[in-house]
Structure 1
């Protein structure tokens, strides 16, 4: 009887650890000094555009995403004219790279079609973020800011569009 109870416990524990959906999500840890207050940019639907503000062609001041047709609040500061990229239908952000020191010095958003948005000055330590699942795309970013962006991390997931046209995250 004790043997069957132990076997049942191990089976339940094994099932609890098995999460097939976990392979659809990944996280690229934050890079940068990480000082200041935290931010996160997220919304409903797919990312359809991105804006980046840079300070005097130097470090990154702020980010903003458009999810479907709705722009998020700016994380950081909107100073001057932003660098902006509008994504095509079915296009997704699949890589974020750049350089950081105390602040995030530069950032490059690369899409599934090979297009890129460059902002900032490439000085400092390099970083490269991408999903672990080849079908995943950028869902949101998070990090810290203190006058400008001091840290950035990326959250990736597989997104499917059902027959009714709304976006769902696996």
Structure 2
């Protein structure tokens, strides 16, 4: 009887704690240079900027959370490719091409099917997406050297105000 009561109390306690739906897409690329993270402490992602070098490889990335742009990862050359998200729209996939030295192409796909392309389709492919169907891109991390982005990983999570934690 005591064991049954203990298990019942334990299970009830588990129901009171909301489940976290977080996943990480491990980084791709050579990984030389300085590490970066697009700090996601300002709310939801509302826009993306990507700089590329003469239609070659990716040299810089910047995300906007709410109305605040993060510090740029990498460098700024020319005019960036930019995608501003609509209200309620999220990033649900990040894919592209990479080699041992740089990220050569990036493709961001939104929950509305819109796409931002930058770079060239050279070398090996990667495809990042969340492990939970309600999750969205929270931040990017990786490495950059003086020339461009050398490694990239993606962090996913369910936005707390929209999550439904009835599943156990």
SS in 1 for 2:64: strand
* Alignment match, 2:37: 40
* Shift, 1:160, TM fit: 3.5
Given the alignment of the two structures, is residue 28 of structure 1 paired with residue 25 of structure 2, yes or no? yes
1:34-88 CA distances to partner (integer Å, 9 max, x unpaired)?
A: 1111000023100000000000011000001110111111110011100000000
- Which of 37, 58, 71 is matched with 1:73 structurally? 71
* Alignment match, 1:156: 156
Give me the CA root mean square deviation: 2.2
How far apart are the structure 1 equivalents of 2:31 and 2:19?
A: 30
- Give aligned pairs, total: 150
Q: Which structure 1 residue ranges, 5 or more long, are not aligned?
A: 163-167
Correspondence 1:66-145 to 2 at 5 A: 66-101=64-99, 102-145=101-144
Runs of 4+ in 1 over 2 A off after TM superposition: 19-22
How far apart are the structure 1 equivalents of 2:123 and 2:82?
A: 23
How far apart are the structure 1 equivalents of 2:114 and 2:46?
A: 13
How far apart are the structure 1 equivalents of 2:24 and 2:38?
A: 14
* Shift, 1:20, TM fit: 6.0
SS in 2 for 1:21: coil
